[in-house]
Amino acid sequence: MSTPNVSGAASPPTGATAASRVFDALKQDLIRGRFAAGEKLAIGSLKTRYQVGLSPLREALNRLAAYGLLEQVNQRGFRVPPLRLDELDDIADLRSQLECMALTQAFQNGDAEWESLLLAAHHRLRRADERPQEVEEWEQAHLRFHRTLLAPCGSPWLLRFIEQLHDQFDRYRRLAPPNPEVREVLDRQHGELVQLAMERRIEQARALLDEHIGLSHGVARGACSAS
Protein backbone atom coordinates (compact mmCIF):
# COMPACT_ATOMS: atom_id res chain seq x y z
CA MET A 1 0.00 0.00 0.00
CA SER A 2 1.35 3.42 -0.93
CA THR A 3 1.30 6.50 1.25
CA PRO A 4 -2.14 6.72 2.81
CA ASN A 5 -3.98 9.83 1.87
CA VAL A 6 -5.31 11.83 4.74
CA SER A 7 -6.84 14.63 2.69
CA GLY A 8 -10.38 14.85 1.40
CA ALA A 9 -11.25 13.35 -1.96
CA ALA A 10 -9.52 11.20 -4.55
CA SER A 11 -6.02 12.47 -4.55
CA PRO A 12 -2.88 13.29 -6.52
CA PRO A 13 -0.17 12.23 -4.08
CA THR A 14 2.76 13.09 -6.33
CA GLY A 15 3.48 16.16 -8.41
CA ALA A 16 0.11 17.87 -8.41
CA THR A 17 -0.13 20.20 -11.36
CA ALA A 18 -2.09 23.42 -11.28
CA ALA A 19 -4.65 21.84 -13.59
CA SER A 20 -5.23 18.85 -11.32
CA ARG A 21 -5.42 21.03 -8.23
CA VAL A 22 -8.05 23.26 -9.80
CA PHE A 23 -9.86 20.19 -11.04
CA ASP A 24 -10.10 18.77 -7.53
CA ALA A 25 -11.09 22.06 -5.94
CA LEU A 26 -13.66 22.89 -8.59
CA LYS A 27 -15.10 19.39 -8.47
CA GLN A 28 -15.61 19.64 -4.73
CA ASP A 29 -17.13 23.08 -5.02
CA LEU A 30 -19.56 21.83 -7.66
CA ILE A 31 -20.62 18.82 -5.59
CA ARG A 32 -20.92 20.96 -2.49
CA GLY A 33 -23.22 23.34 -4.35
CA ARG A 34 -20.96 26.37 -4.07
CA PHE A 35 -22.21 27.49 -7.48
CA ALA A 36 -25.82 28.10 -8.37
CA ALA A 37 -27.41 25.44 -10.55
CA GLY A 38 -27.56 26.63 -14.14
CA GLU A 39 -25.02 29.35 -13.46
CA LYS A 40 -22.70 30.44 -16.20
CA LEU A 41 -19.11 30.20 -15.03
CA ALA A 42 -17.12 33.37 -15.63
CA ILE A 43 -13.65 32.16 -16.44
CA GLY A 44 -12.11 35.44 -15.43
CA SER A 45 -13.45 35.25 -11.88
CA LEU A 46 -12.49 31.57 -11.61
CA LYS A 47 -8.94 32.58 -12.38
CA THR A 48 -8.99 34.86 -9.36
CA ARG A 49 -10.86 32.41 -7.17
CA TYR A 50 -8.47 29.52 -7.72
CA GLN A 51 -5.35 31.57 -8.34
CA VAL A 52 -4.31 30.00 -11.63
CA GLY A 53 -3.78 31.02 -15.21
CA LEU A 54 -6.06 30.37 -18.13
CA SER A 55 -4.46 27.18 -19.45
CA PRO A 56 -4.67 24.98 -16.36
CA LEU A 57 -8.10 26.39 -15.57
CA ARG A 58 -9.47 25.56 -18.99
CA GLU A 59 -7.97 22.08 -18.83
CA ALA A 60 -9.74 21.48 -15.54
CA LEU A 61 -13.03 22.76 -16.95
CA ASN A 62 -12.70 20.46 -19.95
CA ARG A 63 -12.14 17.46 -17.70
CA LEU A 64 -15.14 18.32 -15.57
CA ALA A 65 -17.33 18.70 -18.65
CA ALA A 66 -16.21 15.28 -19.92
CA TYR A 67 -17.00 13.90 -16.46
CA GLY A 68 -20.48 15.37 -16.47
CA LEU A 69 -20.20 17.94 -13.71
CA LEU A 70 -20.25 20.82 -16.18
CA GLU A 71 -22.01 21.57 -19.42
CA GLN A 72 -19.92 22.87 -22.25
CA VAL A 73 -21.26 24.66 -25.32
CA ASN A 74 -18.79 25.30 -28.01
CA GLN A 75 -18.32 29.03 -28.30
CA ARG A 76 -20.07 30.02 -25.11
CA GLY A 77 -18.15 28.50 -22.30
CA PHE A 78 -19.15 26.41 -19.33
CA ARG A 79 -22.18 26.34 -17.06
CA VAL A 80 -23.30 24.42 -14.01
CA PRO A 81 -25.91 21.83 -15.00
CA PRO A 82 -29.41 22.72 -13.80
CA LEU A 83 -31.09 20.52 -11.19
CA ARG A 84 -33.75 18.46 -12.90
CA LEU A 85 -36.05 16.09 -11.10
CA ASP A 86 -36.17 13.64 -13.97
CA GLU A 87 -32.39 13.52 -14.11
CA LEU A 88 -32.14 12.91 -10.38
CA ASP A 89 -34.59 10.04 -10.73
CA ASP A 90 -32.48 8.61 -13.53
CA ILE A 91 -29.29 8.94 -11.49
CA ALA A 92 -30.83 7.39 -8.38
CA ASP A 93 -32.46 4.47 -10.20
CA LEU A 94 -29.31 3.63 -12.07
CA ARG A 95 -27.26 4.00 -8.93
CA SER A 96 -29.45 1.45 -7.20
CA GLN A 97 -29.10 -1.01 -10.04
CA LEU A 98 -25.35 -0.67 -10.40
CA GLU A 99 -24.62 -0.69 -6.68
CA CYS A 100 -26.71 -3.81 -6.20
CA MET A 101 -24.75 -5.49 -8.98
CA ALA A 102 -21.50 -4.48 -7.37
CA LEU A 103 -22.70 -5.55 -3.93
CA THR A 104 -23.43 -9.05 -5.14
CA GLN A 105 -19.95 -9.39 -6.58
CA ALA A 106 -18.37 -7.82 -3.51
CA PHE A 107 -20.10 -10.39 -1.29
CA GLN A 108 -18.60 -13.15 -3.42
CA ASN A 109 -15.10 -11.75 -3.60
CA GLY A 110 -14.77 -10.04 -0.24
CA ASP A 111 -12.41 -11.72 2.22
CA ALA A 112 -11.53 -11.24 5.88
CA GLU A 113 -9.37 -8.25 5.02
CA TRP A 114 -12.39 -6.60 3.41
CA GLU A 115 -14.56 -7.36 6.41
CA SER A 116 -12.14 -5.62 8.73
CA LEU A 117 -11.80 -2.63 6.41
CA LEU A 118 -15.57 -2.39 6.28
CA LEU A 119 -15.85 -2.53 10.06
CA ALA A 120 -13.21 0.17 10.31
CA ALA A 121 -14.95 2.39 7.77
CA HIS A 122 -18.22 1.94 9.59
CA HIS A 123 -16.62 2.82 12.88
CA ARG A 124 -15.24 6.05 11.47
CA LEU A 125 -18.65 6.85 10.04
CA ARG A 126 -20.30 6.38 13.42
CA ARG A 127 -17.70 8.62 15.00
CA ALA A 128 -18.47 11.24 12.42
CA ASP A 129 -22.19 10.82 13.13
CA GLU A 130 -21.50 12.01 16.65
CA ARG A 131 -20.10 15.36 15.48
CA PRO A 132 -22.85 16.85 13.33
CA GLN A 133 -21.04 20.18 13.11
CA GLU A 134 -18.15 18.64 11.14
CA VAL A 135 -20.13 18.13 7.95
CA GLU A 136 -17.18 17.53 5.65
CA GLU A 137 -15.75 14.95 8.00
CA TRP A 138 -18.99 13.03 7.85
CA GLU A 139 -19.27 13.39 4.09
CA GLN A 140 -15.82 11.95 3.65
CA ALA A 141 -16.43 9.06 6.03
CA HIS A 142 -19.75 8.35 4.35
CA LEU A 143 -18.24 8.31 0.87
CA ARG A 144 -15.48 5.99 2.06
CA PHE A 145 -17.92 3.65 3.71
CA HIS A 146 -19.86 3.15 0.51
CA ARG A 147 -16.65 2.80 -1.48
CA THR A 148 -15.33 0.18 0.90
CA LEU A 149 -18.57 -1.76 0.77
CA LEU A 150 -18.35 -2.23 -2.99
CA ALA A 151 -14.58 -2.15 -3.46
CA PRO A 152 -13.98 -5.89 -3.90
CA CYS A 153 -16.61 -6.27 -6.65
CA GLY A 154 -13.82 -6.87 -9.14
CA SER A 155 -15.03 -4.55 -11.88
CA PRO A 156 -13.05 -1.30 -12.22
CA TRP A 157 -15.48 0.05 -14.81
CA LEU A 158 -18.50 -0.65 -12.66
CA LEU A 159 -16.83 1.11 -9.73
CA ARG A 160 -15.97 4.03 -11.98
CA PHE A 161 -19.56 4.51 -13.07
CA ILE A 162 -20.85 4.14 -9.54
CA GLU A 163 -18.41 6.81 -8.36
CA GLN A 164 -19.56 9.11 -11.14
CA LEU A 165 -23.22 8.60 -10.28
CA HIS A 166 -22.45 9.10 -6.62
CA ASP A 167 -20.88 12.48 -7.37
CA GLN A 168 -23.91 13.46 -9.42
CA PHE A 169 -26.29 12.26 -6.75
CA ASP A 170 -24.45 14.07 -3.97
CA ARG A 171 -24.80 17.38 -5.75
CA TYR A 172 -28.56 17.07 -5.35
CA ARG A 173 -28.50 15.55 -1.88
CA ARG A 174 -26.25 18.22 -0.42
CA LEU A 175 -28.41 20.96 -1.78
CA ALA A 176 -31.64 19.50 -0.40
CA PRO A 177 -32.99 20.53 3.01
CA PRO A 178 -31.89 18.02 5.65
CA ASN A 179 -34.38 15.59 7.14
CA PRO A 180 -33.28 14.42 10.62
CA GLU A 181 -35.80 11.58 10.82
CA VAL A 182 -34.71 10.05 7.53
CA ARG A 183 -31.11 10.72 8.37
CA GLU A 184 -31.45 8.65 11.49
CA VAL A 185 -32.83 5.73 9.52
CA LEU A 186 -30.05 6.06 6.94
CA ASP A 187 -27.43 6.00 9.67
CA ARG A 188 -28.93 2.86 11.14
CA GLN A 189 -28.94 1.17 7.75
CA HIS A 190 -25.18 1.54 7.47
CA GLY A 191 -24.77 -0.71 10.48
CA GLU A 192 -27.32 -3.17 9.15
CA LEU A 193 -25.45 -3.29 5.85
CA VAL A 194 -22.26 -4.19 7.68
CA GLN A 195 -24.08 -6.93 9.57
CA LEU A 196 -25.56 -8.40 6.39
CA ALA A 197 -22.17 -8.16 4.70
CA MET A 198 -20.51 -10.16 7.44
CA GLU A 199 -23.10 -12.88 7.04
CA ARG A 200 -23.16 -12.61 3.24
CA ARG A 201 -26.93 -12.36 3.17
CA ILE A 202 -26.99 -11.03 -0.32
CA GLU A 203 -30.73 -10.83 -0.97
CA GLN A 204 -31.48 -8.92 2.19
CA ALA A 205 -28.45 -6.72 1.66
CA ARG A 206 -29.54 -5.86 -1.87
CA ALA A 207 -33.01 -4.98 -0.68
CA LEU A 208 -31.59 -2.83 2.08
CA LEU A 209 -29.12 -1.03 -0.18
CA ASP A 210 -31.93 -0.37 -2.62
CA GLU A 211 -34.08 1.03 0.16
CA HIS A 212 -31.12 3.06 1.45
CA ILE A 213 -30.59 4.75 -1.89
CA GLY A 214 -34.33 5.16 -2.32
CA LEU A 215 -34.66 6.97 1.01
CA SER A 216 -31.75 9.23 0.24
CA HIS A 217 -33.29 9.81 -3.16
CA GLY A 218 -36.46 11.03 -1.50
CA VAL A 219 -34.47 13.54 0.53
CA ALA A 220 -32.42 14.64 -2.47
CA ARG A 221 -35.57 15.38 -4.40
CA GLY A 222 -35.99 18.37 -2.13
CA ALA A 223 -33.23 20.07 -4.10
CA CYS A 224 -35.43 20.37 -7.16
CA SER A 225 -38.03 23.05 -7.60
CA ALA A 226 -39.81 21.92 -10.76
CA SER A 227 -39.12 19.10 -13.18
Which residues make up the interface to DNA (CB under 7 A)? 14-15, 17-19, 40-44, 52-56, 58-59, 72, 74-78
The reply to whether 4 sits near its own copies by the rule CB under 8 A is no
Looking at the chain, how many residues does it have? 227
From DNA, its own copies, none, interface partner of 33 (C-beta below 5 to 8 A by class): none
The reply to whether 210 sits near its own copies by the rule CB under 8 A is no
**Among residues 5, 7, 51, 97, which is the contact residue for its own copies, using CB under 8 A?**
97
Instruction: Give me the least distance between CB of 11 and DNA, in Å please.
Output: 16
Instruction: Give me the least distance between CB of 71 and DNA, in Å please.
Output: 12
Distances (CA, A) of 32 to 112, 168, 198: 35, 11, 33
Q: List binders of its own copies among 113-172 (CB under 8 A).
A: 154-158, 160-161, 165, 168
From its own copies, DNA, none, interface partner of 93 (C-beta below 5 to 8 A by class): its own copies
The reply to whether 19 sits near its own copies by the rule CB under 8 A is yes
Nearer Cβ to its own copies (57/208): 57
The reply to whether 50 sits near its own copies by the rule CB under 8 A is no
Instruction: Give me the least distance between CB of 200 and its own copies, in Å please.
Output: 21
Binding range to its own copies, per CB under 8 A, among 2-10, 61-69, 190-198, 212-220: 61-69
Nearer Cβ to DNA (44/214): 44
